[in-house]
Amino acid sequence: MLQIIIQGLLLSGLYALIAMGFMLIFSIGRTLNLAYGAYIMVGGYIYFWLSQQLGLPKLIGFAGAVAVGAIMGLLKHRLIVKPLKGDPVAVEISTLILAVIMQSAVVLVFGDASKILLPIIPGVVTISGAQVTYNIVAATLMSWVIILALYAFIRGTHTGRAMQAVSMDQKGAAISGVDPDRINMITWAISGGLGAAGGVFFASYTQLSPGMWVAPVIISVAIVIVGGIGSIIGTLIVAHIIGFLEIIVVAVWAPELRGVFTMLLIIGVLIMRPQGLFGREEH
Amino acid sequence: MPGLAQTLFITASGAGMNLRPHHFILWALFIAGMLLMPELVGRGTLRTMVFACYLAIFAISWDILSGRTGYISFGHPFLVGIGAYTTAILTRRYGFPVEASIPIAVLVTMFGGLIVLLPALRIKGSYFALVTLAVMELMYQLVPVVRPDLTGGTRGISRLPALTRGAENGYYLAVCLMLAVALFAWLLMRTRLGTALWAIGQNEESVRGSGLSTTRLKSFAFLVSAAIAGLGGAFYAHYLGTITPRAFFDINVLFQIIVAVLIGGAGTILGPIIGAFFMVFLLEWLRPFLPGQERFFVYGAIALLIYMYQPKGIMAIIESGITRLRGART
């Protein structure tokens, strides 16, 4: 029982972190950014390259991953999203193409075989019979730090509040003296950085492989939609619902069914209540 | 209110089709050209063309739903996969003859798609795309787990009965199937029904405003699309002889279908075919240089460039080229 709670909390923290970056983009442009998975994947691989292949300190590896993710987010906004003028279908499809391009780029550079990431912080602690690695504890703590910082940033700073304003009403925000273009750029960069950071932890939780981006994208989509667009609290709650759901299914039922209930949940909620469980009404 | 079949009959038999002699000539030339291919090219190229034909069928199926109505389906591999798995299970596990299993596979695909995706037509835009994506991923996770004695688990089903022998016959079968599907889709889109589907993509509210049931129209587009996907999937499974979950319920399959339509030209009949042939031949041509999945890097980059330059695809690029040539001459 305690094991389920601990593992559930750890996995949920990770999911919440991954979903945050996706939520930012989805709430600001209603853009289904399938290339978000590419940030996750690239973040993991950059960290692997810097810290394991080049032997640089882990902190530099992590910073490098976040920086590359942020740059990717910026470039994506400049080169693809802006020229398409926010046509959601075109953006969706171009992000799908981009995600597949990034996947094959990773195959090109790192090869097809999956790679094991060394734990960021080595060591194991046993809590009531459950083996918990320091690595995943650190990942969860880090994701909570990042989530809280993001929350403070969005609620507390002028730029953060402007981001909220743009996500609610682009024109209204522009009239009140906010430059939506600048805010969009900042949001895409933050989202890319968050995705890459999530990717480092996600890769250390599972492993690095060129196909690793699909599952986290679908999970973040599920969390964001079910949680309601633009709601940080909703995202957090649903990340825990899905995290615990998966751990319970694995522990009680069968590991193969892990993703099945997540998919059923997202399909059900989308059809019954498209605005999500905690979201504001869309018009 | 007349039923759907009746409406279809009235519109098809009426003057709405607007068929002209040059249509028949162009179609005859196209069909004759495709059927003459085995005389002109080698066996290896024919095999590549078979894949292109099947991809073109899936692309046309996707285009009927998503290219026309604007409801982007990320779940088409799911429909193709149901068709393939149904006929595979029926022939290998229950000893059905192929003549019976393929029609059943088409019906099962329509039915399966209906249950799973029809409720999703209530929602719009990204949400519809998401539900279909989730359904595909759900199938990928379920197929190996539920009744592995039937589906063969992650290893799939092998040694399916083959429909034809030899590269030429395989090609004739695939190309005839593709031509039949293309002709059917072309005729369908020339009816008033086709116009209505296209109008939904332009402005759904105004279609509803003119007294048409958009739900019924969308369901119809969906059923036709599912039937074609199931048909293509079933024949494709017998052509391959082996099916696995990853070969069907995969985001790369989805990528190939969607990109074939988009770089060819959505909302046209020739577009998806051109796109599919372009895609398959480019990938085949890249094989000596990049053997594995890396090929998609070059391919995706080209697709993205074409898409960013002209979202209407190669068809529109060709058309604007022709008008420019004509303009230069006069």
List pLDDT tens digits, range A34-93. Answer: 888 888 989 989 988 888 888 888 888 888 888 999 998 888 888 887 787 767 777 888
Q: Looking at this protein, which amino acid is placed at residue A103?
A: Q
Q: How confident is the model at residue B233 (pLDDT cuts 50, 70, 90)?
A: very high
DSSP annotation of A127 reads E
Task: Establish if A103 touches chain B: CB-CB under 8 angstroms.
Answer: yes
Number of domains in chain B: 1
Q: Interface of chain B against chain A, CB under 8 Å?
A: 70, 72, 74, 119-120, 122-123, 125-127, 129-131, 133-135, 137-138, 141-142, 144-145, 251-252, 254-255, 258-259, 262, 290, 292-297, 300-301, 303-304, 307-308, 311
Residues in chain B within 8 Å Cβ distance of A260: 138, 141-142, 145
pLDDT score, position B170: 84
Residues in chain A within 8 Å Cβ distance of B294: 104, 107-108
Q: How confident is the model at residue B43 (pLDDT cuts 50, 70, 90)?
A: confident
Q: Looking at this protein, which amino acid is placed at residue B187?
A: L
User: Are the beta carbons of A92 and B72 separated by less than 8 Å?
Assistant: yes
Q: How confident is the model at residue B1 (pLDDT cuts 50, 70, 90)?
A: very low
Residues in chain A within 8 Å Cβ distance of B246: none
CB B24 within 8 A of CB B190: no
Alpha helices in B14-72 (DSSP H): 21-40, 43-62, 68-69
List pLDDT tens digits, range A98-137. Answer: 888 888 888 888 877 777 777 777 777 776 666 777 877 8
Task: Establish if A259 touches chain B: CB-CB under 8 angstroms.
Answer: yes
The residue ranking higher by pLDDT, B4 or B37, is B37
pLDDT score, position A81: 79
Residues in chain B within 8 Å Cβ distance of A107: 292-294, 297
Q: How far apart are the first and last CA of chain A?
A: 43
Cα separation, A186 vs A230, in Å, equals: 16
User: Are the beta carbons of B70 and A266 separated by less than 8 Å?
Assistant: no
Nearest beta carbon to residue B255 from set A100, A225, A274: A100
Task: Name the one residue in this structure whose structure tokens are 């060709």.
Answer: B318
- CATH number for the domain spanning B67: value is 1.10.3470
| Whole-number Cα distances in Å, A191 to A33, A71, A147 | 10, 10, 12
Q: A114 in the Ramachandran plot: left (φ > 0), alpha (ψ -120 to 50) or beta?
A: beta
Q: What is the ipTM of this complex?
A: 0.77
Q: Looking at this protein, which amino acid is placed at residue B21?
A: P
Residues near B22 by beta carbon (within 8 Å), at least 6 away in sequence? none
pLDDT score, position A150: 85
User: What value, to the nearest 5°, has the Cα angle with vertex B158 and ends B282 and B91?
Assistant: 115
3-state secondary structure of B18: coil
CA A83 to chain centre: 25
The residue ranking higher by pLDDT, B121 or B14, is B121
Cα separation, B150 vs A61, in Å, equals: 47
Q: How confident is the model at residue B172 (pLDDT cuts 50, 70, 90)?
A: confident
- Given a cut of 70, whether residue A222 has pLDDT beyond it is yes
Sign of the dihedral through C-alpha B81, B142, B219, B269? negative
Residue A183 structure tokens: 């805010």
Task: Name the one residue in this structure whose structure tokens are 């199931």.
Answer: B230
Cα separation, A58 vs A119, in Å, equals: 10
For the ranges A175-184, B126-135, B215-224, the maximum mean pLDDT occurs at B215-224
Which domain does B270 fall in, by range? Answer: 2-329
Average pLDDT of the residues in A15-29 = 82
List pLDDT tens digits, range B66-110. Answer: 888 888 888 889 899 999 999 988 888 888 887 888 899 999 999
Residue A103 structure tokens: 């996947």
Cα separation, B180 vs B184, in Å, equals: 6
Q: How confident is the model at residue B232 (pLDDT cuts 50, 70, 90)?
A: very high
Q: Looking at this protein, which amino acid is placed at residue A273?
A: R
Q: Looking at this protein, which amino acid is placed at residue A146?
A: I
CA B55 to chain centre: 7
Q: Looking at this protein, which amino acid is placed at residue A133?
A: T
CB B105 within 8 A of CB B226: no
